Amino acid sequence: MIVTIDGVAASGKSSVSSGVARALGVPYVSSGLLYRAATLLAHEAGLSPHDPALVPHLEAQPLRFEPLAGGNRLWLGTRELTADVQSAAVDAGVSAVAARPELRAWVDRRLRALTPPFVAEGRDMGTAVFPHAQAKFYLTASARVRAGRRAAERPEAVDEIEAALILRDERDRAQSVPAPEAHVIDTGPLSLQGVIDTILAALPQGAAPARTS
């Protein structure tokens, strides 16, 4: 079974996917983390997103991706990259990397090599990468709501975060389209657990965990 959870930046994809994956007892897979890793490694190697040497460079790196239900982790050999790829600098550069078809193909190859069951989150999991997924969801919320949530975990001011989110939404628009059959959820009025419960309740029979009450 594959469940896809796509959505706009900071709409809650990772937190919600982790909660759904834990309830189902399966891993979740953050595709954004791979685009972030590519961005950080390109920057550290002094390669632009357009450089034809970038994909061969990435292929040569000892990059290891741990898609755990509790949270995805990323390693370069023994160096953990998980926190490094969540910086404002990576946020600012990642859309240019994600716009490159050869980089998208590099990420998609790594994702399709994973063995189901899992919950996959990102922008195009339900459309391009796993079009045959059994259940598809798409998360939204206003930029202000998303910025407010992010401000609780980052040092930047809420206005600055909101402006950066609006810019990233615009740059990611091409690949951030809900699948026609996706359940679209406005997370604005919902708690994190409320979103998780909405998704669990909408899963096809057999995929959802047994209800106790």
Ligand X SMILES: Nc1ccn([C@H]2C[C@H](O)[C@@H](COP(=O)(O)O)O2)c(=O)n1
What radius of gyration, in Å, describes the C-alpha atoms of the chain? 17
- State which of residues 4, 14, 95, 176 lies at the interface with ligand ATP (CB under 6 A): 14
- Answer for which of 3, 6, 13, 130 binds ligand ATP (CB under 6 A) is 13
| Distance separating alpha carbons of residues 166 and 212, to the nearest angstrom | 41
Judge whether 10 is annotated as a binding position: yes
195 scored as a contact of ligand ATP (CB under 6 A): yes
Token pair for 161: 């975060």
**Which range touches ligand ATP (CB under 6 A), out of 45-53, 95-103, 175-183, 184-192?**
184-192
CB of 188 to ligand ATP, least distance (A): 8
**Helix, strand and coil in the chain, % to nearest 5:** 50, 15, 35
Determine the size of the site formed for ligand ATP (CB under 6 A). Answer: 17
> Does 15 interact with ligand ATP (rule: CB under 6 A)?
yes
Annotated binding site for ATP: 7-15
Contact residues toward ligand ATP (CB under 6 A) are 7, 9-15, 32, 149-150, 153, 187, 190-192, 195
Contact residues toward ligand X (CB under 6 A) are 9, 13, 31-32, 35-36, 94-95, 98, 122-125, 168, 172, 175
